[in-house]
Amino acid sequence: MAQSPDIVACCWSIPERIQIERIRCVCDKCPQLGFDGGQTDEGDPWFLVYDCNREQVVLHIARIDRRYVMARASRSKPLTAASLSAAVDAALEELYRAGNDRRTD
């Protein structure tokens, strides 16, 4: 699920891309994780992290109406944040928790 840098570059500002790179770096270090992104028909940018082994989306972040919404496989309720850095911090915590859970399986 390798993702073209152009997809992220065309949809997100430079400060947002810096935050997104924090997630992509984790995906690069974990071969079971994939990263993808794009833009909705309405023009809202999004990206997701995919567990290739379990064939499921681990988390999905989108910018909608200047807010950041994160849906996570482990939670039924999405997280809404005013900043992408807050959403990415929560996403990284989720990825680390999921990684630790996989090690104990």
Domain that holds residue 83: 5-104
> Could you tell me the pLDDT band of residue 6, with boundaries at 50, 70 and 90?
low
CA of 89: how far to CAs of 9, 53, 60, in Å?
21, 24, 13
Q: How confident is the prediction for the chain on average, in pLDDT?
A: 86
Q: Can you tell me the distance from the alpha carbon of 46 to that of 8, in angstroms, rounded to the nearest whole number?
A: 9
Residue 44, number of CB atoms within 10 A of its CB: 14
92 pLDDT tier (thresholds 50, 70, 90) = very high
Number of domains the chain contains: 1
Q: Tell me how far apart the alpha carbons of residues 39 and 7 are, in angstroms, rounded to a whole number.
A: 8
pLDDT digits (tens, 9 = 90+) for 8-60: 667 899 999 999 999 999 999 999 999 999 999 998 999 999 999 999 999 99
pLDDT surpassing 60 at residue 4: no
Q: Judge whether 45 and 37 are in contact, CB under 8 Å.
A: yes
pTM for this model (two decimals): 0.82
